[in-house]
Amino acid sequence: MSPAPTSEDLAGRLVSFVGALRSKGIPAGTSETVDAAAVVEVLGLDDRTQLREGLAAALVRRGGQREVFDMTFDLFFPAGTGARQSVLEQAVLDGSEDGLFDLEDIRDLLAMALAELDLRTMEQVAELAVDALGEVGTPGTSTAGWSAYQTLDRLQPQTLIARAQQQRGSGGAGSAQGQGTGQGQGPTQGPVTERLARDEVRRGVEAFRQMVAAEARRRTAEVRGRDVVTRHAVRQGTGQVEFLSANRQQLDELRATVRPLARKLATRLAIRRRRARRGRIDIRRTLRRSMGTG
């Protein structure tokens, strides 16, 4: 994580974090803020993953809020500041001068990471890509920042699906060499296996897109401020989504949120209908039975 803040800075950051969640539709009040402060006091800042889960348990109450929470958490409790030192050191170890990569180098690294479905390497490639390809505006001004759209538009990760799938197949064939048909080639993949492998790579590309977006938000928040990035780059919670402008993912989240409520409402209506089918209440019969039992 970034350098540990003082107790006063941490308290102010936590209050601002809860306020940002509230502005995005997560109903976190005073009691939730107190619970979150207790979580931070108990867990500390050493383990960022543990801190994330603890704060989520204290602040997230409904389905469809976790993604908004994670996006906001990454802004207020980032894993680091600026270009990650570990990534630059890894770049030097890989033989790149001054830790700099060109576009084709980054595409090659991403293709290998997608072939192996290595999330850690994909995260490092996302950091490199944003740092090398995503800078926008004039440094030192209010227009400075990093753009996930520009990074992905230059990198075109969707065009690496076939290459990553081919690398996965060649790796599998190399390990199975001499065990297949006796001609020095591995067993060929069937259409179902190829389809599953392609779907896995597609999911890897989607995960990489999210990593790039998170890294761009983190870097931009350092120059423009967390509040500005939260207001413009973090999407609204499910409860504040406008139906006419909702995308497919948001509509799916809305359905998942409404479905249990619809079940409860249907159960209540069914009970009312069963009671209504019995007709009107017989007052005399009710009183007689009541008097008979005392």
Residue 152 pLDDT class (50, 70, 90 cuts): very high
| Contact criterion met (CB below 8 Å) for 128 and 108 | no
Indicate whether 234 belongs to any domain.
yes
How many angstroms separate the CA atoms of 101 and 268, rounded? 62
Residue with tokens 């941490």: 10
Residue 1 in any domain: the answer is no
Number of structural domains in the chain: 3
- End residue of a domain, out of 196, 213, 240: 240
Q: Hey, what amino acid is at 81?
A: T
State the pLDDT at residue 180: 43
pLDDT higher than threshold 70 for residue 15: yes
Band (182; pLDDT cuts 50, 70, 90):
very low
**What pLDDT digit, counting tens, does each position of 18-77 carry?**
998 888 888 888 899 999 999 999 998 888 889 999 999 999 887 678 888 888 898 888
Task: Say whether pLDDT at 87 is over 60.
Answer: no
Give the angle 57-59-61 at the CA atoms, nearest 5°.
80
The model's pLDDT over 254-288, given as tens digits with 9 standing for 90+, comes to: 787 788 888 888 888 887 777 666 666 778 888 88
pTM of the entire predicted model: 0.64
CA dist 16 and 10 (Å) reads 10
Q: Residue 35 belongs to what domain range?
A: 7-76
- Interior CA angle at 169 toward 165 and 174, to 5°? 150
- Tokens matching residue 106: 């980054």
In a domain, 206, yes or no: yes
Together in a domain, 125 and 92: yes
Phi and psi (nearest 5°) for 136? -130, 165
From 17, 50, 76, the end of a domain falls on 76
- DSSP state, 293? T
| Domain end position, chosen among 17, 47, 76 | 76
- The reply to whether 170 and 284 lie within a common domain is no
23 and 61 part of one domain = yes
